[in-house]
Amino acid sequence: MLIREIARTEGASLAGALEGPGSNALGTETGGVKITADTAIAIGAANVLIDFTVPAATVAHAKACADKGVSMVIGTTGLDPEQTAAIHAAAKKVPIMWAANMSLGVNILLALVEKTASMLDPAYDIEVLEMHHRHKIDAPSGTALALGRAAAAGRQVKLEEVWRKSRDGHTGARPAGEIGFATFARRRGSGRAHRDVRRRRRTAGTQPPRVQPRDLCLGAVRAALWLKGKKPGLYGMKDVLGL
């Protein structure tokens, strides 16, 4: 879908395609280029690398891009502190746009969540509920955490100081200002993910956003074009969209 989005986007063209070692796709062609496991070959003629992989691969790609002067769009989540620091180090050499979710709709939602949280006092509970397909490997997901960070930013607090990622047994009364996360056990099937951010004073919350895959690809390609001419640094979709 990314390749199709690149093909239909004015000013964008596919320069290479990268897969992991052992992939059955290696050596085949897609979008007019041959799929390779060699990062140097894949980015050799590229201005930007769009990376939706896994943390270890993303870190390796970021180092290669930093060494070659290639910008990067990252959609990978679940990085640990050491891996995150590696991305920050690469961003000192090249511009990197890193977002938990490239969806234009979700990023507008993030801005709305931050704004709404800033208008409500801590007496309103905030809970991020999500349900994913069975192949999702991190919980809470990067998008759920991004929604929590947006709410925390609206309240001018650090998410890590107020979050509750799980509840079990007799947990006691909920403290004021807590931001909770709940990932449903129904991680089944292969459909789209949806999330529900609830801010309540014993009232209902927002409707869950349903993310269309093409919306993600559109956002990623838009971010790649936006990086042209940008100085080294770490950017987000808020920068791309001017939010």
Q: Which residues participate in catalysis according to the annotation?
A: 132, 136
In what helix (H) or strand (E) does residue 33 lie, and over which residues does it extend? strand 33-36
> Contact 101/76 with Cβ under 8 angstroms?
no
Residue 148 CB: number of other CB atoms within 10 A? 25
Residue 31 CB: number of other CB atoms within 10 A? 15
Q: In one letter, which amino acid is 3?
A: I
Cβ-proximal residues to 86 (8 Å cutoff; 6+ apart), any chain: 59, 62, 63
